[in-house]
Amino acid sequence: MARRRHGGFHILALAALIGGVLRLIEPLLDRALHGAALHTYYVVIDVFLILGFIGFGMAAGKLGKAGAAIGATGLLLIRIGAATGAALYQPGAALALFGAAFIGVDILQRRGRSRIAAVLFVAALVLGLAALLPQTAMPAAFAAGIAFGLGFVIQGIALL
């Protein structure tokens, strides 16, 4: 018997989809927005992605639940760093990517419907690690962001 999900879960899945879309268009708006408007846009993206991580965790096995907690913690670190001036972006981004990769592995282990999202989440981590190399930093970081955002869109749709 399939578990029936409540409306709150659908809101979280929709938040993941919206967060993913906002993450995908971020490179375009990065040049158009400045100052407080750009900071607000980043906060909005992270709020939707955190809600998406919560939704992913609700639908996941143990590894995916851990990944959702790790990913949400990473995004919270990024926001705390931005608010306090502490250098928390790199560790926060790393946690977000590792969390998403754990969710991806969980999806693959459970043979979930959104295997494409799973592969994108794992690819985002690999690309994020490649971004640590100076010669590949910018293109790898850009590709990691695209894979991460697209994974959120696809997983959000799958959970709807």
- Per residue, the 3-state secondary structure of 5-54, as one string, reads CCHHHHHHHHHHHHHHHHHHHHHHHHHHCCHHHHHHHHHHHHHHHHHHHH
Instruction: List, for residues 66-94, the tens digit of each pLDDT value.
Output: 999 999 999 999 999 999 999 999 999 99
112: left (phi over 0), alpha (psi -120 to 50) or beta: beta
Q: DSSP state, 135?
A: G
Burial of 133 (0-12, 13-18, 19+ CB in 10 A): exposed
State mean pLDDT over 96-118.
96
State mean pLDDT over 145-150.
98
